């Protein structure tokens, strides 16, 4: 069972209280973007075995979207952070580094 | 004026806990940036109740303000006071970006009373029902069986459940079933 702490209400929310929102930090390509960029936005995902960054929504609780950094193999949660960022904050990346030295996700390390 | 009907017509069941639907209440949804002090003060002034902390409810003179999310609180008050409270809020909140809507008919409220209330709820929700984690005055929006609901600890052995009116029957049946005689857990209520 995955338990994520909602950064907005501080509740350690059980998986059944949350709704998954897929991979985090996608750039939304809109009108005017070229086909490759749009296809990438639409279809291409990291789908990693290991460190991953995801969007989740505290659907049954405060209703807010937030981000989570976790390991897809062990379900270890490195941390959760607010939705209003375009990449994981330093503190979260440090927390991941402490547990998974040498991790890589897209161009983040 | 038509008669106000609650979702379940005041249904009631007795078991380990008493489950009953409360008579019609007034409810006003308030959405605003509660992180800003000026906005908080305006909400408190308009609602006539202090703005609660995260996951808490405050009650003053028959009115309760429940924390619902970082930008949402629910004002629960006697049904007849809703229209005047709405205009008081509009006046107090003027100049602040906000929404205040009369949602009195949107939700059903179940009152669950009894020594086993924490045990009964713990069967249905992932929320921590331990007295230390969920003392009286707490509010938690969570999952109850298959639906979303808000649980408010009113007193030590009294809980109010707010759910959407459309799922009121499900919530009532679920609570009744969980509180049926013979289903005592005896985890929080050691004397069971």
Domain A1-25+47-109 has CATH 3.30.830.10: no
pLDDT recorded at residue B97: 97
Tell me if residue B128 falls in helix, strand or coil.
coil
Across the interface, whether the CB atoms of A62 and B140 are under 8 A apart is answered no
- DSSP characters over A49-109: SSEEEEEEE-TTTT--EEEEEEETTT--EEEEEESS-SS--HHHHHHHHHHSTT--BTTB-
Q: How far is CA A39 from CA A42, A107, B21, B32, B145, in A?
A: 5, 19, 52, 38, 39
Every domain range in chain B assigned CATH 3.30.1360.120: 12-23+106-178
Our CA-based measurement puts residue A7 at a distance from the nearest CA of chain B, in whole angstroms, of: 10
Confirm or reject contact between A20 and chain B (CB < 8 A): no
pLDDT over threshold 90, residue A104: yes
pLDDT in tens, B15-47: 999 999 999 999 999 999 999 999 999 999 999
Say yes or no to pLDDT of B5 above 70.
yes
Between CA B14 and CA B19 the distance in angstroms is 6
Question: For residue A10, what is the nearest residue in chain B, using CA coordinates?
Answer: B54
Confirm if B116 and B192 have CB atoms less than 8 A apart.
Answer: yes
B70 contacts in chain A (CB < 8 Å): 8-9, 62, 64
Of A8, A60, A64, the CB nearest to B142: A60
Give the pLDDT of residue B149.
Answer: 97
CB pairs under 8 A between A and B: 38
Hey, CA dihedral for B1, B7, B11, B17, is it positive or negative? negative
Q: What percent of chain B has pLDDT over 70?
A: 99
Say if residue A20's pLDDT is above 70.
yes
Contact call for A9 and B143, based on CB within 8 A: no
Residue B1 pLDDT > 80 = no
Q: Mark yes or no for CB contact B143/A16 under 8 Å.
A: yes
What is the percent of chain A where pLDDT is above 70? 100
- Residue ranges per domain, chain A? 1-25+47-109
So what's the pLDDT on residue B190?
82
pLDDT tens string B104-144 = 999 999 999 999 999 999 999 999 999 999 999 999 999 99
A18 touches chain B (CB under 8 A): no
Average pLDDT, chain A: 95
**CA A46 to each of CA A27, A50, A84, A100, B6: distance values in angstroms, whole numbers, following the listed order:** 13, 11, 21, 17, 50
Using a CB-CB cut-off of 8 Å, the residues of chain A touching B141 are 60-63
Chain A: give the shortest CA distance to residue B69, in Å.
Answer: 5
The Cα–Cα gap between A92 and A10 comes to: 16
Question: With contacts defined as CB-CB under 8 Å, which chain B residues touch A7?
Answer: none
* Separation in Å, CA of B168 to nearest CA in chain A: 16
Query: Which one of 3.30.70.1520, 3.40.309.10, 3.30.1490.20, 1.10.10.10 gives the CATH number of domain B25-102?
Result: 3.30.70.1520
A41 pLDDT above the threshold of 80: yes
Provide mean pLDDT across the span A25-49. 94
Closest CA to B27 of B42, B50, B56, B47: B47
Q: What is the pLDDT of residue A1?
A: 84
State the architecture of B12-23+106-178 in CATH terms. Answer: 2-Layer Sandwich (3.30)
Whole-number pLDDT of residue B2: 80
Q: Give the closest-approach CA distance of A4 to chain B in angstroms.
A: 12
Which residues of B are less than 8 Å from A8 in CB distance?
69-70
Query: If you measure CA to CA, which chain B residue comes closest to A7?
Result: B70
Q: Name the average pLDDT for chain B.
A: 95
Rg (CA), chain B: 17
CATH 3.30.70.1520: which residues of chain B? 25-102
């Amino acid at each position: 069972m995955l338990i994520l702490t909602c950064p907005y209400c501080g509740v350690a929310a059980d998986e059944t209280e949350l709704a998954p929102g897929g991979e985090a930090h996608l750039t939304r390509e809109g009108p005017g973007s070229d086909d490759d960029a749009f296809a990438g936005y639409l279809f291409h995902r990291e789908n990693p075995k290991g460190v991953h960054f995801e969007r989740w929504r505290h659907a049954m609780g405060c209703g807010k979207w937030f981000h989570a950094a976790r390991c897809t193999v062990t379900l270890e949660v490195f941390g959760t952070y607010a939705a209003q960022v375009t990449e994981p904050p330093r503190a979260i990346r440090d927390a991941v580094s402490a547990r998974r030295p040498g991790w890589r996700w897209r161009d983040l390390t | 004026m038509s008669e106000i009907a609650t979702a379940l017509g005041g249904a009631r069941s007795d078991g380990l806990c008493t489950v009953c639907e409360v008579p019609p209440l007034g409810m006003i949804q308030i959405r605003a940036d509660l992180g800003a002090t000026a906005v908080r003060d305006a909400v408190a002034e308009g609602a006539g109740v202090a703005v609660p902390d995260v996951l808490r409810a405050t009650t003053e003179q028959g009115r309760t303000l429940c924390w619902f999310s970082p930008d949402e609180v629910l004002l629960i008050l006697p049904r007849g006071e809703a229209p005047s409270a709405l205009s008081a809020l509009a006046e107090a909140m003027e100049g602040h970006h906000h929404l205040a809507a009369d949602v009195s008919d949107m939700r059903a409220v179940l009152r669950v009373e009894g020594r086993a209330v924490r045990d009964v709820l713990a069967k249905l929700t992932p929320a921590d029902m331990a007295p230390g984690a969920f003392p009286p005055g707490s509010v938690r929006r969570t999952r109850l069986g298959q639906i979303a609901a808000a649980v408010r600890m009113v007193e030590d052995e009294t809980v109010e459940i707010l759910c959407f009116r459309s799922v009121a029957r499900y919530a009532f049946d679920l609570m009744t079933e969980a509180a049926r005689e013979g289903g005592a857990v005896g985890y929080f209520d050691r004397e069971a």
